[in-house]
Chains A and B, each alone.
Chain A
Amino acid sequence: MSKMLKPGINVKPGSSKENKTGSWRNYYPKFDHAKCIACGTCETYCPEGIIFGDKEHKYDADLDYCKGCGICANICPVKCIEMLLEVR
């Protein structure tokens, strides 16, 4: 046997990042950094896991992947995220 048996289909971990799911979006989140208290709730609750930030820089979403679901805007305790119609 010169070749190793390779059962199943093997793909690279995390390779789904090639899918830029941002193209699905109808609405995009706009973060008001003046109002943001940097609690990180939006980061916890993003189904895609693509909201990033810290106390100093406040929070933003990676629009390459954001599907525009609006959970972040709905959950924000100070309502500093607004969902705006995407214009392409």
Chain B
Amino acid sequence: MEDLKQKLMKKHLLAPGHTACAGCGEALGMRLIVDAIGPNCIIANATGCSEIFTSKYPQSAWEVPWVHSLFENSSAIASGVEVALKARGKTGIKVVAMGGDGATADIGIGCISGMWERGHNILYVCLDNEAYMNTGIQRSSQTPFNASTTTSPSGSESMGNQTLKKDMIAIANAHRVKYVATVSLANPKDLERKVKKAVETVGPSYIHFQAPCPLGWGFDSDKAVEIAKLAINTGLFPVIEYEDGQLVKVQKIAKKVPVEDYLKTQSRFRHLLKSDAGKKVIAQIQTIADANIEKFGLV
């Protein structure tokens, strides 16, 4: 058994022994993404779950050069690394900046905007688990409409988070990012293809990955992939691809399902199923999904 293990175990660029929760969608997605990027990269990682669970002192799960500094500056560090490599005449090394939804859409967005505006040859990966999970599930600007979090709790006064997700794809396109795509656990082949394409892109590229979180979303540890599929089939997470600001490809929905089927799988939405007011909110969430389907032609 030990010999067989030595022989057949694939060499991944994210080693086991990291301290992500059992069934973590982000750990799975990040491994797939890093394996697709390949060994010739330097990663600047923002603070967040991804940084915490891969770098428990004095160990690291990374098999590639990796640097963490602060929550807000992964893209600024990556910019510096990219310029330094250029100054030293080193080619063939992809610089990658990575962070969660809080680091990307809230805390780090200023530095990201600067990185894109200056046109650095950097791939930015957003691992979107839709709230600040490692600090205890506080809402972020990527938390979905009326999800219950510890800072947007549902109760007699509120149905949960009252704002819509910030549209990072539109923000990336507004910066004329060369390649912009969303990826999901539901389709690892598509994820690999898009990440490889982003790596080959000369100039800024952006990958937005939806990372189902068993702890923060409230589902069993074996359900991450199932829930990622439901997010696509409801239209709540469109899997799309832009080149030079032009929509070039969308993943069609095989069989459209009502948003309720997605919402009822997760405890962060469970309150919506219990009251008439909640039913009204579900109808509103359905209009968000339908708008996505119409906008991107998903059906």
Interface residues of A (CB under 8 A from B): 8-9, 11-21, 24-25, 43-50, 52-54, 57, 60, 62, 65, 67-71, 73-75, 83
Contacts and interface: CB of A to CB of B under 8 A. Distances in A.
Contact of B8 (A9, A54, A65, A69): A54
Interface residues of B, number: 45
Do most interface residues of chain B lie in helix, strand or loop, or is the interface mixed?
loop
A19 B221 CA distance: 20
A44 B10 CA distance: 10
Contacts of A60: 1, 4-5
Closest 3 interchain pairs by CB? A70-B222, A69-B23, A16-B17
Nearest to B66: A13
A16 B61 contact: yes
Given A47-B20, A52-B10, 4 more contacts: A8-B67, A13-B62, A15-B59, A50-B16
Contacts of A54: 8
A18 B12 contact: no
B225 A74 contact: yes
20 contacts: A11-B57, A13-B60, A15-B59, A18-B17, A44-B32, A46-B28, A47-B24, A47-B224, A48-B18, A50-B9, A52-B8, A53-B8, A67-B21, A68-B22, A70-B222, A71-B28, A71-B222, A71-B225, A74-B225, A75-B225
Contacts of A44: 32, 188
B180 to A, nearest CB: 25
Nearest to A68: B22
Interface string B35-62: 0000000000000000000111111111
Interface of B: 1, 4-5, 8-10, 12, 14-25, 27-28, 31-32, 54-64, 67, 185, 188, 214, 220-226
A14 B28 contact: no
A68 B67 CA distance: 30
